[in-house]
């Protein structure tokens, strides 16, 4: 018979590595990573875990999403006492963390699994609401752009960003000495229209899949593609923007509330271009 969490001595040395998928509403938090003094996703999870297990448990994130950025497929890894009843643990954590955080798909994995460093690809989804008026029901999860965007031009521009490039023009460069590399590999970018939540309109969805991303990279890509869709930039401008390696060369940074970390993949988990 499997032990319940309450029956486990959290001080004993036997531990197992656990992988959990996490969904959260980013507008409730000052980012995902632990940040003393402000509310974060990891901060809430660690507090809830401490109440359940009596232990201060370290949590590793697959991606450190910014304040206001949401997730449906964030992955965390953590070490728990051997014999933990994961179903019971998730039930208790979900009751404590609702409605801003939900946890699912907990499983014991290899001891060397790391949510961040074991990831082979990540996918972000950005939703844009085109039209003259804001939709109050989705305003906190989509960027309202009061224009009809040229999707064909956006896709043509996006194709220039696929592959391995120095994305200095699309990233907020960290303050470090020596400077860190901002070379990243983008696997796929797709832009398409899909039915909106109210059924009477369409939203524009941008999906960006890559092996890793630097700070504000996806939002900068989306903002630049929107400038292309509005005719402020053209697809042939993208190679020169990349080559400039200067943040001022690219377009605007899209607001955080339209962005969702939708999926993280690991060895043996394939990504499919243009999938949801």
Tell me the torsion sign for CA atoms 177, 183, 184, 188.
positive
For residue 52, how many other CB atoms are within 10 A of its CB? 17
Question: Cβ distance 182 to 215 under 8 Å?
Answer: no
Q: Active-site residue among 9, 34, 55, 66? A: 66
Give the list of residues 6+ apart from residue 136 with CB closer than 8 angstroms, or none.
none
Instruction: Name the phi and psi angles at 22, rounded to 5.
Output: -130, 135
Catalytic: 66?
A: yes
CA angle 147–151–155, rounded 5-degree value: 140
Active site members: 66
């Amino acid at each position: 018979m499997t032990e319940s969490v309450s029956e486990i001595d959290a001080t004993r040395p036997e531990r197992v590595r656990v992988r959990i998928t996490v969904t959260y509403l980013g507008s409730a938090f000052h980012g995902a990573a632990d940040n003393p003094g402000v509310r974060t996703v990891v901060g809430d999870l660690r507090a809830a875990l401490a109440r359940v297990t009596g232990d201060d448990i370290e949590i590793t994130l697959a991606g450190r999403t910014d304040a206001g950025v949401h997730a449906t497929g964030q992955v965390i890894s953590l070490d728990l006492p051997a014999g933990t009843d994961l179903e019971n643990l998730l039930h208790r954590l979900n009751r404590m963390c609702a409605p801003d955080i939900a946890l699912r798909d907990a499983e014991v994995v290899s001891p060397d699994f790391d949510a961040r460093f074991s990831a082979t690809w990540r996918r972000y989804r950005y939703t844009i609401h085109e039209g003259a008026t804001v939709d109050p029901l989705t305003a906190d999860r989509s960027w309202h752009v009061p224009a009809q965007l040229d999707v064909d031009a956006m896709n043509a521009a996006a194709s220039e960003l696929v592959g391995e490039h120095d994305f200095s023009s699309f990233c907020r460069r960290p303050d470090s000495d020596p400077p860190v590399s901002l070379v990243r590999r983008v696997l796929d970018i797709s832009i398409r229209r899909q039915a909106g939540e109210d059924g009477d309109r369409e939203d524009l969805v941008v999906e960006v899949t890559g092996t890793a991303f630097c700070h504000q990279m996806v939002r900068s890509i989306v903002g630049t593609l929107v400038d292309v869709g509005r005719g402020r930039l053209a697809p042939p401008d993208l190679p020169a923007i990349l080559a400039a390696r200067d943040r001022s060369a690219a377009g605007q940074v899209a607001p955080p509330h339209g962005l969702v970390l939708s999926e993280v993949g690991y060895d043996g988990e394939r990504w499919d271009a243009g999938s949801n």
